[in-house]
Structure 1
Amino acid sequence: MDRVLRLIDKLSEYCSKAFAWLIIPMVGGLFYEVVARYVFNAPTIWAYDLTYMLYGALFVMGSAYALSQNRHVRIDVFYANFSSRRKGMVDVILYLVLFFPPILALLIKGVEYAAFSWSMREVSAAGAWRPPLYPLKTIFPVAMAVLLLQGVAQFIRSLRRARGSEVTS
């Protein structure tokens, strides 16, 4: 079981690091837009769309890795003072009530939206250059699937901690 948990952690890390490379074209596009707009007074029609698409992909694909590293928001007022076992119990309950239902809903709806987008080869109506949206809409359910897998791994670790078992990373 520990091997499977480590494999899920590696998948989350790989996805996050692979998509982190999107920062380079994102910053490049923004830099180009600033120079074009303020130096040459010739703004682009594509830089804003490209930037929010790349940032959106980067953001959602990094969510599973953030979960694996315990980087998501947590209210530590009470939690920090709990024993390891009690933290495990709280985490188990919160995963069941607050994590899995919305992530499953987002995954299911994300697959539906992506499939519909692919079926009509959807393009952006907002941008003048009309970039395709279906690749971007495909990234979301993929990210939710990886996040769900990482959530299962974290849930198993929390369950072990709640039972008083030793937790391995």
Structure 2
Amino acid sequence: MNYLDKAIKYLGYFTAFILGVLILLVVYDATARYLFSTGSVALQELEWHLFDIVILFGIAYTLKENAHVRVDIFYASFSKKTKALINTIASLFFVLPFSLLIIYIGIDFVHMSFVQQEASSNPGGLEYRFIVKSLMPLSFVFLSLQAVSQAIKSFKKWRSL
């Protein structure tokens, strides 16, 4: 699990880098649009694609860092043993099945986009939209692996308490 944790950590670093690029791109785009009255459809679509990367790849890193959303009002008052059990159950019976479903559905989604050579319908937009769409099942592969890792760690913690 150490290799997986390290890989997800670097995925988080990559996501942070992409977020930095996205911020610079948005600042440039807004400056060009409002100060110089110029703009680019491709640039705006690239912003959305980079935003997709940040969201999709950030999911597994967020789970690894235990920074995901949960009902902390209840969780905070539970014992360490109960928290470990909840984390194990949530990873195995909620996160993992949902991730596998998204992967299963997403593969056909990406395949169809690839076969059609899907591109932007906007004039001047980006081509090869299937590339960004392929990140959806890939990101849930990372999330599935992280969910299994979390479940194993939480189960070991539960047994040791």
Q: Same fold (TM over 0.5)?
A: yes
Q: Distance in 1 between matches of 2:77 and 2:56?
A: 31
Length, aligned pairs only: 160
Aligned match of 1:69: 65
1:83-140 CA-partner distances (Å, limit 9, x unpaired):
2111122222222332122111111112221122122211122x32231211101112
Alignment correspondent of 1:9? 5
* Cα distance in structure 1, aligned partners of 2:64 and 2:29: 35
Structure 2, gaps ≥5 residues long: none
Per residue, is there more helix in 1 or in 2? 2
| Equivalent-residue separation in structure 2 for 1:109 and 1:38 (angstroms) | 41
2:45 corresponding residue in structure 1: 49
2:89 — aligned with what? 93
The residue aligned with 1:25 is: 21
Using the aligned pairs only, state the percent identity: 28
Question: How many angstroms apart in 2 are the aligned matches of 1:27 and 1:77?
Answer: 33
Unaligned 5+ segments in structure 1 are: none
Partner SS for 1:62? helix
The Cα shift of 1:28 comes to 3.0
SS at 1:70's partner residue? coil
- Divergent runs of 4+, >6 A: none
RMSD across aligned C-alpha pairs, in angstroms?
1.7
Give the conservation status (yes or no) of the 8 Å contact 2:92–2:148. no
